[in-house]
C-alpha cells in the first residue's frame, strides 16, 4: 500500500518557503523593566519561530551587514519599551522601513524602577506581536 505523505509542521521555520515570512526583530533592550521585557519577548518570539532577534545596538553603529539583513527581511518588527521609541528611531536612522511596531507601555504595562516581571508580562508582548497589533 503506498504511504501517504504526512503533513509538515512549520514550527521553527521562519522562511518564506514555508508560507511564512522572514522577519527580523529588534528589541530596544533598554535598562528599564519595559526595555528588558522587549528583549525577553523577542527571545521567546525567536524560539516560537516568529522571526529572528537582532541587536539594535549593533544596528545603531550602522553595521553594513545587519542593515543589509534588515533590508532583505520580509518584515521588520520593532519592540520599544516606552514612548522614547529608541529602537524605532535607530531603525529610521538607518533608513530601514518598519512593518510592525509595538510599544510595551502601550499594552498596559507600566515603566517603573523595579525590574520584576511575570511570565504574563512577556506573554502580553509576545501575543501582541503574533496578533499583529503593531502592524503599520
Partner 1 sequence: MIMVKIEVFGTGCMKCKRLMKNVEKAVKELGIDAEIVKVDDIVEIMDRGVMLTPALAVDGEMKISGRVADVKELKEILGG
Residues at the contact surface with partner 1, assessed by CB under 8 A: 4-11, 18-21, 48-50, 127, 130-133, 135
| Minimum CB distance to partner 1, residue 103 (Å) | 17
Q: Which is nearer to partner 1, 18 or 67 (CB)?
A: 18
Q: Which is nearer to partner 1, 5 or 68 (CB)?
A: 5
Q: C-alpha distances in angstroms, 127 versus 85, 91, 109, 130?
A: 20, 23, 14, 5
Q: Are 27 and 102 in contact (CB under 8 A)?
A: no
Q: Which is nearer to partner 1, 40 or 82 (CB)?
A: 40
Q: Are 99 and 75 in contact (CB under 8 A)?
A: yes
| Minimum CB distance to partner 1, residue 127 (Å) | 7
Q: Which is nearer to partner 1, 48 or 63 (CB)?
A: 48
| Minimum CB distance to partner 1, residue 100 (Å) | 9
| Minimum CB distance to partner 1, residue 62 (Å) | 31
Beta bridge partners of 59: none
Q: C-alpha distances in angstroms, 19 versus 8, 22, 70, 94, 131?
A: 12, 10, 19, 28, 17
Amino acid at each position: 500500500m503506498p504511504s501517504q505523505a504526512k503533513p509538515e509542521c512549520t514550527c521553527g521555520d521562519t522562511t518564506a518557503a514555508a508560507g511564512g515570512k522572514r522577519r527580523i526583530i529588534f528589541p530596544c533592550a533598554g535598562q528599564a523593566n519595559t526595555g528588558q521585557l522587549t528583549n525577553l519577548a523577542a527571545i521567546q518570539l525567536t524560539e516560537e519561530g516568529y522571526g529572528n532577534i537582532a541587536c539594535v545596538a549593533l544596528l545603531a553603529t550602522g553595521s553594513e551587514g545587519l542593515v543589509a539583513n534588515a533590508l532583505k527581511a520580509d518584515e521588520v518588527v520593532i519592540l520599544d519599551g516606552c514612548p522614547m521609541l529608541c529602537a524605532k528611531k535607530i531603525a529610521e536612522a538607518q533608513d530601514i522601513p518598519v512593518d510592525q511596531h509595538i510599544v510595551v507601555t502601550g499594552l498596559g504595562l507600566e515603566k517603573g524602577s523595579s525590574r520584576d516581571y511575570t511570565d504574563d508580562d512577556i506573554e502580553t508582548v509576545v501575543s501582541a506581536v503574533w496578533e499583529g497589533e503593531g502592524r503599520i
